[in-house]
A and B are shown apart, each in its own frame.
Chain A
Amino acid sequence: MSDPARLRRPETVYFFGTCVIDLFYPGAGLAGMELLKRQGLRVVFPPDQSCCGQPARNSGYLDEARAVALRQIAAFPNDWPVVVPSGSCAGMMKTHYPDLFEGRPEYSKAKAFSARVFELTDFLVNVLDIKLEDKGEPVRVTWHGSCHSMREMGVVDQPKSLLRQLSNVTLVENPREKECCGFGGTFAVRQPEISAAMVTDKVAAIEETGTSQVLSGDCGCLMNINGALEKAGKAIHGRHIAEFLLERTSGQGGK
C-alpha cells in the first residue's frame, strides 16, 4: 500500500463509530477507541458524525448519499487517519466516496478524505504493528469475514493475525468464512426469504466449528448472525473483534 499514513505512526486519530454501532453495539465502538488509546494515541470522536451514507448509495439514492457523505467529510477536518470499526463503512468511504463525487467540485476533497480511511484491524496490524498479550482463559472462536471488509478493503488476514497473537485463543476456521451472511442492508428486508436462507446456512457453518463465539469486524453482519443464532436457540454468540481483543488483553471482564 502506498498510503503515506501507513509509513508512520500518527499521534492522533479520528474514530468513525458507524450508525449501527451507535445504536446497537456502542460497546464495540468504545472498545475500538480504547484499543487505540492504549497504543498511546489520542483518539478523537467528532460528535457531528452520523452514517457513511452507504444505505442510500446502495439503494440508488445518490444525491441523498452525497449530502450525508459531505457532512461526514466536514466532521473530520484535520489531516488525521479516520479509523473505522467496520470494513463495510470503511469500504464506502474509501472506495465509493471518490466514485460518488467524480466530475464534481467536491471530488478532490472526497478523494483526500478517502485516503485517510482505515479499517480498524488493518490499522492495528499494519500501521501500529500492535503486540497483544493474552490474559484470558483458553477459548475456541471462529471468524466471519465481512464481504466489504475482504473485497473492498482487502482486509482478510489482518483480524485473524490479531487472534493468532493471543496464546489462549484457538481460531477454528469457518468452512464458509468468506460467504455472505445475507445481511446486505436493505436486502434483508427487500429479499427476506433469500436473506433468511443465507443467514440460516451461515449459522449452520458457524455451528459446525464447535466454538462458543463467532467474531467479526462488522456489526451489520453481527446483528444478522446474532439475531439468527438467538432465534434458533443456539448457545453461540457473535461479537465484534474489538471488544474481544480488549477483554482478552485486559484480563477477564476488563472492559
Chain B
Amino acid sequence: MSDFTQRAPIALNDPTLRRNFRRAMDGLMSKRAAQFADPAAWAALRERGAMAKARAVARLPELLEQLEAKCTANGIHVHWAETTAQANAIVLGILQKAGAKKVIKGKSMVSEEMELNHFLEGHGIKAVESDLGEYIIQLAHEAPSHIVMPCIHKNKGEIAQLFADNIDGLGYTEDVDALTAAARRVLRDEFATADAGISGVNVAVAETGTLVLVENEGNGRLSTTLPPLHIALMGIEKLAETLDDVAPLLSLLPRSATGQPITTYVNMITSPRKPGEKDGPQAVHLVLLDSGRSRVYADEQLRDTLRCIRCGACMNHCPVYTRVGGHTYKFVYPGPIGKILTPQLEGLDCAGDQPHASTLCNACVEVCPVKIPLADLLVRLRTESVHSGHSQAVKGAGSRRSLHETLSWRGWQFMYAHPWAYGLATRLMARLGNLIPAKAPLMRQWTSVRTKPKFAGKTLHELARDKGFDHE
C-alpha cells in the first residue's frame, strides 16, 4: 500500500510548501486562461490535438514500426525496452561502448521513471542535470515535484541557500539573475566536457522519424548538439502520425503548461551529424520504453491515458495537488495524470489509494488539451480496485476490496432501491440523526473543521406531501 493519505498531512501542515504551491498554481492558471481566452478557437484547436493523439494511440503498433523504420533510415539507432531495467541496461551499454564517463541531461520524465542517474552513478558514470529546475533538485537530492517545473516547491530563499552551499565562490544571494548566471557558469563547463547528452522526447513523428523537443533554456539543444553522442528516451506513446500534427500539439503544449504561446526553442532532430556538417552528435540513439504502457493499451477505455502530452495542466488546476504538492504522490507522475497512470504502471495494490484522492471536481478534465477523460478513468480505477475477476486490465485489481465496504454498499443499494426501506430509514434519520455524536466514525472526520450536518426533522418527501404537491 502506498501511503498517500498518511503523507498528505505532512505537506498540508507545511505553510511554506502550501504557499509556494498556491502562488505558483494561481499564476499558471491565470496565464493559461489568458492563452485560451477565445472559447471557439480553444475548442477547435483542442479537438484537433485530441484527435491527433487519439489516432496515434489507435494506430500505435504500426506507427512505432514506421517510426523505427524512418529513424533507422535517417541514421538513428532505435532500441526497445520492456522495462526500466532493460532501458537502463541499453543506455549503459551505449555509454560504455563509447567510453563515456559523464553525461549531461536535458529534462526527461522517462529518465525519472528509470531512476537513470542513480543507476549510472552506480556504474561509475556521472549524470549531470542541466535544466535549471532539475539541476536544483539534483543538488538537493530530491525528486521533481512537478512534471514541467520540477523545483516548483522551492522558493528563492531555499534555492539561494542550496547554491551558496554547493557552488564554489558563490555567496548567499536571492537575486534570480545572479543565481541563473551561476548555474550557467557551472553547467557550461559540464556541457563542454560531457561525453554524451541524454534527453527526453515531446513528440516523435512517425512519418519523418523526427524527434521534437520543446524547451526554454537551451539546455535541451545543448545536450542534443554539443556532445558527440545523443541518447533520446521516450515512452512508446509519445507519437504523432505526421508532421501536420506537430503544429497543433505545439500550440497546445506550452500554452497549457506554462501559459506561453510557444517555447523559446522547438528542436526537431531527424538524424545525427551528416558528412560535411560541422556539429551535432556523431551518433543518435532512441530508446523506446514500454514499462507497463502496453498493458494500459490492452484496455480500450484505459488506453486514453496514453494520449497524455505531459503538459501538467491537470496538476496546475488540481485542488488536491495544489495543497499537497508533488512529493506526496511519491511516484514520478503526480496530480491527476499520476492518479490514473501510476496505479496502472505500478499496480492498484501499491498505488490504489491515489484514484480516491480526488473530489472528481473535473477541473483537470476541463483543461486537458487532449481530452483525456480523467474523472471517468479515476472512477474506472476505483471500480477496479474493489473488484477482481471480471477484468484483468489492471494489476492489483480487487486489492482494496473489503467485506465491510462491500456489505455497506449492498446495504446502501437495498435502502435506496426500495422506496419503502428508503422512506422508513429517512424518516427515522430525519428525526434521530441529530443524536449521532460528533465523535462517531465518519462523523469524526467530518467535524474536524465543520459542525455536524443538521437533519431537518421532516424529509422533503413528507413536506412535499404535506404541501400538496402531486405525487403522480
Contact = CB atoms under 8 A, between A and B. Distances in A.
Query: A and B: partners?
Result: yes
Interface of A: 15, 17, 19, 21-27, 29-30, 33, 42-48, 50-51, 53, 55-64, 67-68, 70-71, 75, 99, 147-148, 151-152, 178-180, 182-185, 187-201, 223-224, 226-228, 230-232
B449 A24 contact: no
A50 B376 contact: no
Interface residues of B, number: 69
A193 B9 contact: yes
B323 A194 contact: yes
B448 A29 contact: no
Contacts of A47: 419, 423, 461, 465, 471
B358 interface: yes
Interface in B1-42: 5, 8-9, 12, 18
Contacts of A48: 419
Given A33-B469, A60-B384, A231-B451, A147 B445 contact: no
B320 interface: yes
27 contacts: A22-B426, A23-B429, A26-B459, A26-B462, A26-B463, A30-B464, A33-B469, A45-B471, A47-B471, A50-B417, A55-B412, A57-B379, A61-B383, A61-B409, A71-B417, A151-B366, A179-B319, A183-B359, A184-B360, A188-B445, A191-B320, A194-B12, A196-B448, A196-B449, A227-B449, A227-B450, A231-B449
A250 B449 CA distance: 35
A194 B357 contact: yes
B379 A68 contact: no
A183 B449 CA distance: 12
A199 to B, nearest CB: 6
Contacts of B465: 47
A22 B324 contact: no
A55 B409 CA distance: 9
Contacts of A15: 464, 469
Contacts of A194: 8, 12, 320, 323-324, 357
B415 to A, nearest CB: 8
Contacts of A232: 449
B8 A59 contact: no
B29 to A, nearest CB: 10
* Residue with the greatest number of chain A CB neighbours at <10 A, chosen from B366, B413, B423: B413
Contact of B409 (A42, A43, A59, A223): A59
B247 interface: no
B470 interface: yes
A65 to B, nearest CB: 8
B460 A193 contact: no
Contacts, number: 200
B362 A151 contact: yes
Contact of A180 (B359, B387, B429): B359
Interface of B: 5, 8-9, 12, 18, 319-320, 323-324, 356-363, 365-366, 376, 379, 381-387, 409-410, 412-413, 415-419, 422-423, 426, 429-430, 433, 442, 445-456, 458-465, 467, 469-472
A193 B6 CA distance: 10
Contact of A23 (B359, B450, B455): B455
- Interface SS of chain A: helix, strand, loop or mixed? helix
Nearest to A51: B416
B470 A45 contact: yes
B12 A193 contact: yes
Contacts of B384: 60
B454 A24 contact: yes
B32 to A, nearest CB: 13
Given A19-B426, A99-B376, 12 more contacts: A17-B460, A22-B461, A23-B429, A26-B456, A42-B470, A45-B461, A47-B423, A190-B5, A194-B320, A200-B449, A228-B449, A230-B451
A53 B416 contact: yes
A160 B283 CA distance: 61
Contacts of B453: 24, 223, 227
A64 B450 contact: no
A252 B238 CA distance: 61
Contact of A182 (B359, B461, B472): B359
A188 B465 CA distance: 32
Nearest to B465: A47
A147 B360 CA distance: 8
A187 B379 CA distance: 13
Nearest to B319: A180
B66 to A, nearest CB: 33
A86 to B, nearest CB: 12
A180 B430 CA distance: 28
Contact of A68 (B323, B365, B413, B430): B413
A46 B472 contact: yes
Given A44-B469, A198-B323, A56 B413 contact: yes
Contact of A33 (B362, B363, B464, B472): B464
Nearest to B469: A45
Contacts of B382: 58-60
Given A23-B433, A58-B360, A227-B453, A188 B413 contact: no
